[in-house]
Amino acid sequence: MSHDQTAVREVLEKARAEGRTALTAPEGKKICDAYGIATPGEGVAASAEEAARLAEEIGFPVVLKVVSPDILHKTEAGGVLVGVATAAAARAGYDQVMASALAYNPEAVIDGIQVQRMLGGGQEVIIGAVTDPTFGKVVAFGLGGVLVEVLRDVTFRITPLSGDDALGMLDDIRAAEVLRGVRGAEAVAREPLADMIQRVSALVDDFPEITEIDLNPVFADARGATAADVRVLLAAGPVVEPARLGRDEILSSMNRIFKPRSVAVIGASAEDGKIGNSVMRNLINGGYRGNIYPINPKATEILGLPAYPSITAVPGDVDVAVFAIPAKFVPAALEEAGAKGAAGAIMIPSGFAETGNVAGQQELVEIARRHGIRMLGPNIYGYYYTPENLCATFCTPYDVRGSVALTSQSGGIGMAILGFSRTTKMGVSAIVGVGNKADVDEDDLLTFFEQDDNTRCVAMHLEDLKDGRGFVEVARRVVKTKPVIVLKAGRTAMGARAASSHTGALAGDDKVYDDILRQAGVVRAPGLNEMLEYARALPLLPTPKGENVVIITAAGGSGVLLSDACVDNGLTLMDIPPDLDQAFRAYIPPFGAAGNPIDITGGEPPTTYENTIRLGMSDPRIHALILGYWHTIVTPPMVFAELAARVVGECRAAGHDKPVVVSLAGDTEVEAACEYLFDHGIVAYPYTTEKPVAVLGAKYQWARASGSMGG
């Protein structure tokens, strides 16, 4: 791709020099030419005669458009005339357009009338880019007309785009079939469209001052794509990229914060009910083995540990300072913690931005930055890191070690994480409150969890991203090895945003988050409970090696619902080859159904479950199993649970590993059976056919995004 940056710079500088934030159509065309974006033949006429001559050169029909920096909405001004078919019409048209434009705005400086080849036929599409407040440059693609405007059938990607990203956009709209040719229309050539998307991406990346660009409509057909109209908007002021710390810099702080040799509790208290007391108790009762330094000017000893009047009085080094004092005392204490060389400030206190005290929060940020101390919060419950028995929080200790790290922007959601974890015995490496995110945010935490051997899966509740581009960058790296689950709250609260382009108007909702999180390989949980269930289950499920999912069920009714759920979750029911079908048939009653779901029928003894599960586990053509259990006297719930755990365990030991999820239909004993199965590394749920399949679907979503599925 050859890009003439000099030509673009010239156009932009001229506009800037003239104080304009919108380019004229000929300027837009120059930019397109410079970046190899095809536009129709055209020229600018300074007289009716010249218009007629240009039209004859370009070929009829043509469109006439007024060119004026003072007229942005040309159609409204009567400054557009379409379907001009003869030289005489072009001549007359010139005068007409000129008159209308001047009638609309008598003060307008008119540079001439643009004569442009009129396009038509093929498929109308729209390609654009905007500057998203979260993600920066974002490219949009959709079908033109009603589809994009009424059904908002549009897809977004963060720049820069790979060729696959761009091609993927063509398939990612709901009406993608239209591009492949419907109702006798020929298919649209994919490469030129994808190429144009990439060129737009390159253009806005090279020139950050281009805040919005609309190619609308673009006419695409079997031969190529041509942008019939281009609209370019520029930033009024300078464009600033958010500052980002380097990975090493982040890690050197984060490793000290998550694996501290010492923790000081500023505001430690011996008095029950105080936050400074809860934090002390949780550190001690949680079994933290580093040094704990209670800081309290009014005490000499707290909960059996010597207390210090200030953090600077602590004899040894301090890695982490947990703040449990009122907001007004925080700045001075933070200065001291910084001076002491602490790596992290765990800022539990509230009373900052969330109550309107934005200046107070900014003050903390500046103190922290000055001292190079990283701050978590303010307005948080603290954090847990189980590998270090670290419960630096005012909640209650949590000790079920495991491999999932969870973070939450909201304290309430943090408490829900804690309660859910405890009741399901979810194995956790970390639970972290990020609160107001004045400093440390999800990007920092992901950077730590990426290289943390104790963490194999990350789940994050968030309402916004401070630096979406930074998040995408690190998430893309992390998902190669570990699933990242995101519950993005506030899906519907983006509200109105001033938008002066089509793309801008389309970008004003949650679809941008949705598309870009997916592009980053993140698994987006639809709700809180799903986030928690995915977090619990994903680390237990091995990565599938391919798309072939098989359902083995004793209840035909469950089989139908499990199949529905497979479709809902984008899973592929394997087309079972005849030899495998025969093999399954050997184990099931003659009126059972092989195929997929494999219906082993109700009332079968344990051996039927055992044989079919073993076959399902052993055959390498099957990549994942969904089991449907039906409670009967012949095979009671715990008998099933024990045999399933044993068979899966034996197969895993023999090297046949694949994800297994189970739906149990039965009386209340199935609940204990589910617990037993979970304890044995098998994901199992009672009274639901949807949840086990949703969890498997989430695993597949990650496996595909990570590129770890092979195939």
Question: Which one among 43, 504, 539, 686 touches its own copies, defined by CB under 8 A?
Answer: 686
Q: What is the DSSP letter of 593?
A: B
Neighbours of 433 (CB within 10 A): 27
- Tell me if 500 sits within 8 A of 128, measured CB to CB: no
Dihedral, CA of residue 367, residue 371, residue 376 and residue 377, to nearest 10: 0
Sequence letter at residue 44: V
What's the burial of 505, exposed, middle or buried (CB within 10 Å: 0-12/13-18/19+)? Answer: middle
Q: How far is the CB of 530 from its own copies (least distance, A)?
A: 8
3-state class (DSSP) for residue 466? coil
Could you tell me the two tokens for 55? Answer: 């039209």
| Cβ proximity to its own copies, 59 vs 120, nearer residue | 120
Q: How far is the CB of 322 from its own copies (least distance, A)?
A: 18
Question: Residues 463 to 502: which contact its own copies by CB under 8 A?
Answer: 463, 487, 489-493
From residue 691, give the alpha-carbon distance in Å to each of 6, 662, 695: 56, 9, 6
Distance separating alpha carbons of residues 465 and 688, to the nearest angstrom: 34
Q: What is the 3-state secondary structure (H, E, C) of 483-552?
A: CEEEEECCCCCCCCCCCCCHHHHHCCCCHHHHHHHHHCCCEECCCHHHHHHHHHHHHHCCCCCCCEEEEE
Question: Which one among 544, 691, 698, 701 touches its own copies, defined by CB under 8 A?
Answer: 691
Question: Which one among 561, 600, 627, 651 touches its own copies, defined by CB under 8 A?
Answer: 561
| Cβ proximity to its own copies, 24 vs 269, nearer residue | 269
Sequence letter at residue 603: G
| 476 CB-side CA count, 13 A | 10
Query: In the block, which residue shows the tokens 């519950």?
Result: 487
| Cβ proximity to its own copies, 34 vs 143, nearer residue | 143
**How do strand 112-117 and strand 62-67 relate by DSSP bridges?**
antiparallel
Q: How far is the CB of 325 from its own copies (least distance, A)?
A: 15
* Per rule CB under 8 A, count of chain residues that contact its own copies: 77
CA-based angle 133:136:137, to the nearest 5? Answer: 130
Q: How far is the CB of 555 from its own copies (least distance, A)?
A: 2
| Cβ proximity to its own copies, 366 vs 667, nearer residue | 667
- Which range, of 7-15, 148-156, 316-324, 367-375, touches its own copies by CB under 8 A? 148-156
What backbone phi and psi angles, to 5 degrees, belong to 389?
55, 35
Binding mask 562-601 for its own copies (x = CB under 8 A): -xxx-x-----------------------x----------
Binding mask 328-357 for its own copies (x = CB under 8 A): ----------------------x---xxx-
Question: Residues 262 to 301: which contact its own copies by CB under 8 A?
Answer: 273
Question: Which one among 226, 296, 408, 436 touches its own copies, defined by CB under 8 A?
Answer: 408
From residue 145, give the alpha-carbon distance in Å to each of 148, 219, 404: 6, 12, 45
- Tell me if 403 sits within 8 A of 427, measured CB to CB: yes
| Cβ proximity to its own copies, 463 vs 473, nearer residue | 463
Question: Residues 37 to 76: which contact its own copies by CB under 8 A?
Answer: none
* Per-position DSSP letters for 22-42, written without gaps between them: B--HHHHHHHHHHTT-----E
| Cβ proximity to its own copies, 1 vs 146, nearer residue | 146
Sequence letter at residue 561: L
- Tell me if 206 sits within 8 A of 176, measured CB to CB: no
| Cβ proximity to its own copies, 204 vs 555, nearer residue | 555
Beta bridge partners of 225: 220
| Cβ proximity to its own copies, 21 vs 100, nearer residue | 100
147: contact with its own copies by CB under 8 A: yes
Q: How far is the CB of 244 from its own copies (least distance, A)?
A: 26
3-state helix, strand, coil in the chain (%, to 5): 40, 20, 40
What is the torsional sign of CA 266, 319, 388, 532?
Answer: positive
Distance separating alpha carbons of residues 275 and 256, to the nearest angstrom: 23
| Cβ proximity to its own copies, 129 vs 434, nearer residue | 434
3-state class (DSSP) for residue 356? coil
| 419 CB-side CA count, 13 A | 8
- Which range, of 106-114, 132-140, 293-301, 405-413, touches its own copies by CB under 8 A? 405-413
| Cβ proximity to its own copies, 151 vs 332, nearer residue | 151
Neighbours of 164 (CB within 10 A): 9
Q: How far is the CB of 408 from its own copies (least distance, A)?
A: 7
149: contact with its own copies by CB under 8 A: yes
| Cβ proximity to its own copies, 150 vs 653, nearer residue | 150
- Which range, of 239-247, 299-307, 317-325, 548-556, touches its own copies by CB under 8 A? 548-556
Distance separating alpha carbons of residues 275 and 346, to the nearest angstrom: 13
Q: How far is the CB of 652 from its own copies (least distance, A)?
A: 27
Question: Residues 356 to 375: which contact its own copies by CB under 8 A?
Answer: 356
H or E element in which residue 79 lies = none
Question: Which one among 413, 428, 430, 571 touches its own copies, defined by CB under 8 A?
Answer: 413
Q: How far is the CB of 687 from its own copies (least distance, A)?
A: 4
Question: Residues 600 to 639: which contact its own copies by CB under 8 A?
Answer: 602-603, 628, 630-631, 633
| Cβ proximity to its own copies, 262 vs 350, nearer residue | 350
Q: How far is the CB of 663 from its own copies (least distance, A)?
A: 9
Question: Which one among 22, 87, 92, 528 touches its own copies, defined by CB under 8 A?
Answer: 528
| Cβ proximity to its own copies, 329 vs 687, nearer residue | 687
Q: How far is the CB of 407 from its own copies (least distance, A)?
A: 12
- 372 Rama sector, left if φ>0, alpha if ψ -120 to 50, beta otherwise: left
Q: How far is the CB of 531 from its own copies (least distance, A)?
A: 10
Q: How far is the CB of 159 from its own copies (least distance, A)?
A: 28
Question: Residues 414 to 443: which contact its own copies by CB under 8 A?
Answer: 415-416, 418-420, 422-423
Long-range pairs, 250-255, Cβ under 8 A, ≥24:
250/444, 250/447, 250/448, 251/447, 251/448, 251/451, 252/343, 253/343, 253/344, 253/372, 253/374, 253/444, 254/374, 254/444, 254/445, 254/447, 254/448, 255/448
Q: How far is the CB of 463 from its own copies (least distance, A)?
A: 6
- Tell me if 70 sits within 8 A of 105, measured CB to CB: yes
Q: How far is the CB of 356 from its own copies (least distance, A)?
A: 6
Question: Which one among 558, 611, 612, 701 touches its own copies, defined by CB under 8 A?
Answer: 558
- Which range, of 212-220, 361-369, 669-677, 699-707, touches its own copies by CB under 8 A? 669-677
Binding mask 170-199 for its own copies (x = CB under 8 A): ----xx-xx---xx----------------
Question: Which one among 146, 243, 496, 653 touches its own copies, defined by CB under 8 A?
Answer: 146
- Which range, of 243-251, 407-415, 544-552, 699-707, touches its own copies by CB under 8 A? 407-415
88: contact with its own copies by CB under 8 A: no
